[in-house]
Amino acid sequence: MIGHAELAAEFGTPLYVYDLDELDAARAELFAALPEEFELFYALKANPHPDIVRALRGGARSCRAEISSTGELAAALAAGCTGADCLYTGPGKTPGELAEAIGHGVRLFSTDSVTDVRRVGAAATAHGVVADCLLRVNSVTASAATSIRMTGVPSQFGFDSESVAALVPALREVPGVRLAGMHFFPLSNADEASLIGEFQHTIAIAAELAAEAGLPLRYLDIGGGFAAPYGVPGARGAYPTLRGELAVALDKHLPDWRSGRPRIACESGRFLAGTCGTLVTRVSNIKVSRGRKFVIVDAGINTFGGMSGLGRLLPVAVGLPPDSRSEMASLVGPLCTPGDVLGRHIAVPPLAPDDLVSIPNTGAYGPTASLLMFLGRPAPMEVLVRGDRVVSASRVDHRRVYDARYESTEGI
């Protein structure tokens, strides 16, 4: 692959480098970990860059698009997806965005409430079509106790599993809607044992609800949660026994699944895109304050880790050459706020102003998950490479953001 120093010299910093060969490897690895009958959705929230989405659509097995906004729909369409390739999710869909999605051919929606189903139906009816709705289910119980829990607690996401049976008759009567099945997403960033246990639980609950609530089950999305490191060195999670365990659970609870009754899907964002990216940033200054060293770089929380304000994503770790010396320092960005910290008291190689620093595994939740417009600094460059070839280079232009359509006639 082209060296980071060479790319930084050509495109400047901060710079995201996305390796499409690594993206291909992650996709092949995840498909191999799933039964061959499975469909796989790529969650654009991880990285909506159209060239990332386009690459995941290629190859022998193609990823469909999981979207949750009209902006992500636009990115999917720009990547060559059709509306029919998309699953539209999210608990707060508005009539306007549903009308736009239906108008672009989206026909599969994950719904979280009675109001959500009715709004999908109204948009579909206005376009003279019928939309398929999956009911996202928030199971009252859970299997795994580790990882980030997405079910088994009060939530804006999904129908509470204990209320589904009572709601199904009314939902069946909503004009413009066809109930198609269920959608679950119980975990995030899980190890294999946790994921297998939760998937087994999900499949059993889905079969039980289909039988007891009379809920049609033509399609079942059991979610994702496949692990990958974020902003630190490391490899993607390994799932060597998942394929067999999923087949056993499905054979037990949904014996016709191999013939497509129901169709089965998983979804992933971080596992697919995370390890393909490296953030390359340049040291602006180094200072010592009361005995502590601060390495100031040109990438801050506006570039990476905007969600670090939630306290979930710190600290990053800098890639260290083998057998190299290291020292402890805080890696901070250029923003005029004390919250602009990428890592507190982390190991870094000896650095000087103008040196380059590489933060690995930043292909997911990078620019679009960060405080991109904060303090008006330019967005980072994003360069996609395959081998020694630059495939594309682009930058989100957010600096011309104020619309003057409604200028006051009285001035300011």
Q: Measure the CA dihedral 172/177/181/183, to 10°.
A: -120
Q: What is the number of other CB atoms lying within 10 angstroms of the CB of residue 253?
A: 18
Q: Measure the CA dihedral 92/93/96/100, to 10°.
A: 150
Nearest alpha carbon to residue 15 among 275, 393, 380, 386 = 380
Q: Which two tokens stand for residue 237?
A: 């999670």
Looking at residue 102, its amino acid is: I
Burial (0-12, 13-18, 19+ Cβ within 10 Å), 391: middle
Q: What amino acid positions are annotated as catalytic residues?
A: 336
Any residues with CB less than 8 A from the CB of 48 and at least 6 apart, and which? 71, 72, 75, 76, 368
Q: What is d(CA 234, CA 56) in angstroms, rounded to the nearest whole number?
A: 22
Q: What is d(CA 220, CA 286) in angstroms, rounded to the nearest whole number?
A: 53
Looking at the DSSP assignment, which residues form a beta bridge with residue 39? 265
Q: Are 254 and 205 in contact (CB under 8 A)?
A: no
Q: Are 310 and 282 in contact (CB under 8 A)?
A: no
Q: What is d(CA 117, CA 111) in angstroms, rounded to the nearest whole number?
A: 6
Q: Are 308 and 301 in contact (CB under 8 A)?
A: yes
